[in-house]
Structure 1
Amino acid sequence: MDLAELSERLVPFCREHLGDPAATVSNVETMPGHAGFSFGFTATANGESRSYVLRVPPPNVRRVGTADVIRQARVVHALRDTDVPVVDVIWSGEDERWFDSPYFIVNKLEGDVLRSDWGWDMPAEEMRPVAFQAMRALASLHLLDWREYVPDDGPPLELEPDVTRWDRFYERSGDMDLVALAPDVREKLLERLPEEPRIGIFHGDFQWSNVFYSFDGTLQAVIDWELWGVGATLNDLGWVITFADAEAWKHGLRHALPSPDDLIAEYVDTYGSDPGDIAWYRALAAYKFGIISGFNLYLHRSGKRPDESWEDTALSVPFLMRRALEVLDGG
C-alpha cells in the first residue's frame, strides 16, 4: 500500500489502541533497509506524541520464514528482560482488518546503526568500546537457554545442511572464476564439522547494520530478527567477525573496528568459557557470503534483480574464499 493509504489505516488503529477517538497520525515514511515493508510514523493522542515503527510482511508471499513478522515479534518480546537490548514491542497481531496482514509495532529509536556514516567515521579509540558492547550483547544472547525463552522453536538446525544448502547457489554464480576456491572450502568444512556445537538462540544476521546505538555510543537494541532461530550460536560470531576482517575483502575496510582477535576476546570474556571451534564458523561465514555475492551478481547481470553494487562486492569473493581456507588452517 502507498503511504497515503497507510496513513488512513493508521488513524483508526491508533484511535482504538491508544484510547483517544481524536488521535492523529503524521510523519508516515518508509524506513530504510526493508524494501518498503517497514514504516515510521508519529501518533498524537491524549496530548502526547510518540514515534513508532510498523513492520508488515511483503505482499503476496507465504508468511513463513523471513515473512513471519509474528515470529519476529515473539523473540523480541521474549528477550525484553534479558541482557540483550531489544526494542519494545508495543502492539502485534494477526488481525488483518488493520493492514491486510499480520503486523508488529515497536517504539522508534533515536540514533543510528554502526554501519553508517556516523559509525564508520568514528575514530578507533571511540569505536572500540562501542563495538565491544555489541560483542557482549551477542554473548549474552548465546548464553540464554532457548528452551526457557523460545521453547516452541526447536529442534536445533544441523550443521551439515548449513554447508550443503549453498550448492545450488554456487552453481548459479555470475562468474564461476570468482568462486573457484569454493569446492575446496566446502570440502574442508564438511571434513571438520564441529561434533558438539553450542546450541541456543542465534540472530541469523548479526552484523554492524543490525546494532542500533544512540549518538552517544550506547547500544540501544539489536534489530532485524528475520533470520533468528535455534541452532549453533557461533554462526553469529563467525558472521560478524567476517565483516570486521580486513583480510577477507579486496579493498580492506573503511572503518576502525577492533581486530577480529580483540572482538572475539571480548565475546569469550562475556561468554565465560570456551565457546568452541570459532575458526570453523568464520570459514563458514566467509564461504556463505562469497556464494551469496556470486549469486547476487548473477541476478544483477541477468537483469532479474539489477543492483550495480554487487559488481564491486563480488570482487571480494576470491578473498573471502582464500580467507576461509586460511582460518581453517590456523591463519
Structure 2
Amino acid sequence: MTDRADEYVDRLVDEAALRAYLEAELGPADSFAVERHGEGHSNETLFVEWGDRDLVVRRPPPGETADTAHDVLREYRVMHALQDTAVPVPETLAACEDHDVVGSDFYVMARVPGDVLRDDEPERFADPGARERVGEELVDTLAAVHDLDYEAVGLGEFGRPQGYTQRQVDRWRQQLEWAFEVTSDEREVPELDRVGDWLAANVPQTHPETLVHGDYKLDNVVFAPGTPPELAAVLDWEMATLGDPRADLGWMLSYWRDPKDPDPVVEDLANRFVERDGYPSRRDLVERYEAATGIVYTDDRFYRSLAVYKLAALGEMFFRRHLEGNADDPMYPLMEDRVPALAERAGRIIDGDEPL
C-alpha cells in the first residue's frame, strides 16, 4: 500500500475506537482486523474480522459531498426494514451517529459469502443454463423489491413517490452543478446540457409507486456459493427511496449488454461477459419483469438515457472529489474523459442509436 493509500485509510477509521465500539455492541472477540474494500466507487466499505465473524462497516467518504449522496444511515434503515421479507439483504447489526468513533455516521452488517459478478463470471456459472438463471434471478429479485408492501415494513414515510421521476431529473442536474463548481475549471461537458434539457422535456407524466433501490445492477448483488445460481443479497441501498420502479429497471438495463452493442464507453463499468451465450437479452429481461410485476416498461429511451445521465453526474462528482483530494480511487481522475463519453452515450440513446 502506498503512503497516500495508508493516509487515506487512516482518515476512514480509527481502529482502536472501532474495536471499542464493536466490543460494546457485539461482545468481545479474540481477533480483530480491518481491510478496506477497494471495488466500490461511492460509500466506503471496510471488511472487519471480529473473532469468527466476518463483518462489513459502511461509511461515507471523507470530505464534502453533494446533498444526501452518501447517507449510510438511510441505507441501514431500509436494509433493517427488509430483514424478514422476500428481498434478500445482509443481516444488519448496528448503526452509529457518533462521529467520535470513525469520524462519520456508519453502520455494521454481516458479510454475505458468495460472489459479486463484476469482472467475470465464476467458473461454476460458465454454461448457458446457469447464465440464463443469473439473469432470471436478477430480474426476479428486482420484481420482489417492487412488489414489496413498503407500508407494512415501516417504510411508508421513506420517500415521496409522487413526482419522483421529475425530481430525479432535477436532482441530478443539481448534482452536476455542484460538481461543475470545481470541474469546469478543467473542462466543460456541453452535451450534458442537451441531455438534461431533453430529459426535462420528456418526463413521463405518471408512473407506478414502489420501493426503489436506486442503484440496482448485477455487481450490486451477491450470488451464493454453489449451483444453480441463487441471489443471496442485494447490496448498496444508499439511494433507495419510494418512487418509479421503471427508473430501477432502466438503470439495470443501462449496464446490461447484448452482443449487438457497440463497445462500451467506460470499459470498467461494463459487464461484457453477459454478452456470452446463455445470458438473457435486455428484451428478455424486460419481458420477464413485466410478467412478474404487471408493470409495463414504457419510455425506454427516457429511462435508459436518464440512467446514463445519472452515471455521468456521479462520475463528475467523483472527479470533483479527486480534484479536491478527497478520494483515493484510481478511477476518479479518469472521469475527466469518461464523463464526456457517457454524455455522448446518453445522447445516442435519446437519438435512437442504442435501441433496447
- Does residue 272 of structure 2 align to residue 254 of structure 1? yes
- Does residue 205 of structure 2 align to residue 195 of structure 1? yes
C-alpha deviation, 1:26, in angstroms: 2.5
Return the letter of the residue paired with 2:135.
A
Whether the 8 Å CA contact 1:179–1:291 is kept in 2: the answer is no
> Match of 1:40?
47
Q: Specify whether residues 155 and 35 from structure 1 end up closer, same or farther in structure 2 by C-alpha distance, changes over 3 A only.
A: closer
C-alpha deviation, 1:28, in angstroms: 1.5
Q: Distance in 2 between matches of 1:144 and 1:129?
A: 22
Equivalent runs, 1:130-279 vs 2, <5 Å: 130-149=134-153, 150-156=155-161, 157-167=163-173, 169=176, 180=191, 183=194, 185-216=195-226, 217-246=229-258, 247=261, 249-250=264-265, 254-256=272-274, 257-274=279-296, 276-279=298-301
C-alpha deviation, 1:321, in angstroms: 1.5
Q: Structure 2 unaligned runs (5+)?
A: 1-8
> Match of 2:82?
79
> Match of 2:3?
none
C-alpha deviation, 1:91, in angstroms: 1.7
Higher relative contact order (CA 8 A, sep 6+): 2
> Match of 1:31?
37
- Does residue 69 of structure 2 align to residue 66 of structure 1? yes
Q: Specify whether residues 312 and 119 from structure 1 end up closer, same or farther in structure 2 by C-alpha distance, changes over 3 A only.
A: farther
Q: Distance in 1 between matches of 2:248 and 2:173?
A: 21
C-alpha deviation, 1:276, in angstroms: 4.6
Q: Distance in 1 between matches of 2:322 and 2:81?
A: 42
Q: Distance in 2 between matches of 1:119 and 1:103?
A: 31
Q: Distance in 1 between matches of 2:338 and 2:122?
A: 22
C-alpha deviation, 1:119, in angstroms: 5.4
Q: Distance in 1 between matches of 2:250 and 2:118?
A: 18
Q: Distance in 1 between matches of 2:218 and 2:197?
A: 29
C-alpha deviation, 1:138, in angstroms: 0.9
For normalisation by structure 1, the TM-score amounts to 0.79
Tell me the secondary structure at the aligned position of residue 349 of structure 2: helix
RMSD of aligned residue pairs (Cα, Å): 3.8
Whether the 8 Å CA contact 1:69–1:102 is kept in 2: the answer is yes
Tell me the secondary structure at the aligned position of residue 154 of structure 1: coil
- Does residue 31 of structure 2 align to residue 13 of structure 1? no
Q: Distance in 1 between matches of 2:305 and 2:232?
A: 30
C-alpha deviation, 1:313, in angstroms: 6.6
Q: Specify whether residues 235 and 121 from structure 1 end up closer, same or farther in structure 2 by C-alpha distance, changes over 3 A only.
A: farther
C-alpha deviation, 1:120, in angstroms: 10
Whether the 8 Å CA contact 1:159–1:193 is kept in 2: the answer is yes
Return the letter of the residue paired with 2:25.
H
> Match of 1:285?
307
Q: Distance in 2 between matches of 1:318 and 1:223?
A: 29
Whether the 8 Å CA contact 2:76–2:92 is kept in 1: the answer is yes
Q: Specify whether residues 253 and 113 from structure 1 end up closer, same or farther in structure 2 by C-alpha distance, changes over 3 A only.
A: closer
Question: 215-224 or 304-313: which moved more?
Answer: 304-313
C-alpha deviation, 1:167, in angstroms: 4.5
C-alpha deviation, 1:275, in angstroms: 5.0
Q: Distance in 2 between matches of 1:167 and 1:93?
A: 31
C-alpha deviation, 1:106, in angstroms: 0.7
C-alpha deviation, 1:271, in angstroms: 1.0
Return the letter of the residue paired with 1:202.
V
Q: Distance in 2 between matches of 1:65 and 1:214?
A: 31
C-alpha deviation, 1:223, in angstroms: 0.4
| Count of residues paired in the alignment | 321
> Match of 1:88?
91
Q: Distance in 1 between matches of 2:115 and 2:271?
A: 19
Tell me the secondary structure at the aligned position of residue 273 of structure 2: coil
Tell me the secondary structure at the aligned position of residue 42 of structure 1: strand
Whether the 8 Å CA contact 1:10–1:25 is kept in 2: the answer is no
C-alpha deviation, 1:207, in angstroms: 1.8
Question: 221-230 or 30-39: which moved more?
Answer: 30-39
Equivalent runs, 1:47-62 vs 2, <5 Å: 49-59=52-62, 61=64
Q: Structure 1 unaligned runs (5+)?
A: none
Return the letter of the residue paired with 1:322.
R
> Match of 2:5?
none
Return the letter of the residue paired with 1:39.
L
Tell me the secondary structure at the aligned position of residue 56 of structure 2: strand
Give CA-to-partner distance per residue, 1:105-124, whole Å, 9 cap, x none: 11112223121334599546
